[in-house]
Amino acid sequence: MRRFSQRSHLVTLSEINITPLLDLAFVLLIIFVITTPLLEQSINLKLPKGGRPETQINKSDITTVEISNTGVYVLDRQRLQLSQLIARLAGEARSNPNLIVYIRADTDSRYELLASLLDTCQRNGIKISFRTDPTPNQ
């Protein structure tokens, strides 16, 4: 004689264990929090000290140009020659009159690299903003 009925074997589990799902969600959150600041900078630069916080600017009006100490120009994480960079900036300035070029230049980069970029921006009426490491509050 059996003490347990056959019915107990057919009962399905109606609860879902969400602990592994929560663990996965927290791991993904941590990964995105760590990698998001790294996506903003494409090459490693030593920026000069100085500057102050800026007012709010529309993100679609901003283009970032980086100049490395080896003479490499990078526009929005894409390496370009100076002639290609000039053509792209001029085209963007025609389509967006509120364009602001953020210039991130390494402290050890040659001045003529920066001067040629500044001349291009001035001829096309593009506003520029030099990016620096902010001065720490004392």
pLDDT digits over 29-57, tens only?
A: 998 888 776 666 567 777 777 666 566 77
Please give the average per-residue pLDDT across 76-88, as a whole number. 87
> What residues have CB less than 8 Å from 121, skipping those under 6 apart?
89, 101, 127, 128
Tokens of 107: 């402290």
pTM beyond 0.85, yes or no:
no
Domain ranges of the chain: 12-40, 59-130
CATH architecture for the domain at 59-130: 2-Layer Sandwich (3.30)
Residue 105 parent element (H or E): strand 100-105
Task: Return mean pLDDT, the chain.
Answer: 79
pLDDT value of position 57: 73
Distance CA 66, CA 54 (A): 19
Distance CA 135, CA 125 (A): 29
